[in-house]
Every structure is written in structure tokens, then in C-alpha cells.
Amino acid sequence: MVMIESVIKSNPLGKWYIELFDTSKDETPESRVICLDVFEYAQKVEEMGKDYEEVEVAWSSDENVTPEQINEVRMQMNAYEAEQESIRANEA
């Protein structure tokens, strides 16, 4: 199993982004992956986890991230997951 750290961050303009890190690898600036939306996030988590049987995601946020930004990420993740469930249901 691998743990992928997902950290919600905020840029100087107040826009959130998610930084990913595979904890099974050495930590370098190059090993961190930046995602600007939940679609890119889902794609990168899938790519990072393809070599593992199980993937666990640990969420956190930087101190300068507002509750509104966290809520926006949460709402977008919920919408993305609902869309994926709908796609899977239609394929079955």
C-alpha cells in the first residue's frame, strides 16, 4: 500500500491548488505534483498509484487556505465522484 499526501494550498492570488506527494518515494521538489483542478488531481492520483495494489490518500491544508477554499475543493470532489459513479452505472 502507498500513502499519497494531498495538500490544499493557496497561491498569492487566492486560488487554491492541490499538491501531491507519494510518501514511498524520496522527497524532492521534483517529486511533488501540482494539480490545478479535481480532474487533474484524479488523473495524477491514478497515475501515481498504478504500481500499487492499494492507495490511501491523506488530506491536509496549509494555514493560509480558507474554509471557503476547502469547501470548494470538497464540493468539486463530490461532483467528480458522482459523475464517475454515473459513468460506471451506465457502463454496467
* pLDDT tens-digit map of 13-44: 999 999 999 998 888 777 899 999 999 999 99
What pLDDT does residue 92 have?
Answer: 73
pTM of the model: 0.88
Kindly state the DSSP code that residue 29 receives in the 8-state scheme: G
Domain 2-91 has CATH 3.30.420: yes
Mean pLDDT computed over 77-81: 94
pLDDT grade for 63, boundaries at 50, 70 and 90: very high
In this predicted structure, the answer to whether residue 77 has a pLDDT above a threshold of 80 is yes
Mean pLDDT computed over 35-56: 93
pLDDT grade for 51, boundaries at 50, 70 and 90: confident
C-alpha grid cell, residue 63: 494555514
Describe the strand order of the beta sheet including 16-22 as a list of residue ranges.
33-35, 16-22, 2-10, 55-61
55-61 vs 33-35, strand pairing mode: unpaired
